[in-house]
Amino acid sequence: GDSVTQMEGPVTLSEEAFLTINCTYTATGYPSLFWYVQYPGEGLQLLLKATKADDKGSNKGFEATYRKETTSFHLEKGSVQVSDSAVYFCALSPPRGGTASKLTFGTGTRLQVTL
Partner 1 sequence: GAVVSQHPSWVICKSGTSVKIECRSLDFQATTMFWYRQFPKQSLMLMATSNEGSKATYEQGVEKDKFLINHASLTLSTLTVTSAHPEDSSFYICSARGTPGNEQFFGPGTRLTVL
Q: How far apart are CA 16 and CA 8, in angstroms?
A: 21
Burial (CB count <10 Å: 0-12, 13-18, 19+), residue 92: buried
From the list 28, 29, 70, 100, which residue makes contact with partner 1 (rule: CB under 8 A)? 100
Q: For residues 63-82, which are near partner 1 according to CB under 8 A?
A: none
**Shortest CB 108 distance to partner 1, Å:** 7
From the list 19, 66, 86, 106, which residue makes contact with partner 1 (rule: CB under 8 A)? 106
44 binds partner 1 (CB under 8 A): yes
Looking only at the bridges linking them, the beta strands covering 109-114 and 11-14 are parallel
Q: How far apart are CA 110 and CA 34, in angstroms?
A: 16
102 binds partner 1 (CB under 8 A): yes
**Shortest CB 43 distance to partner 1, Å:** 4
H runs (alpha helix) in the chain: none
User: Which residues make up the interface to partner 1 (CB under 8 A)?
Assistant: 4, 8, 36, 41-46, 89, 98-100, 102-108
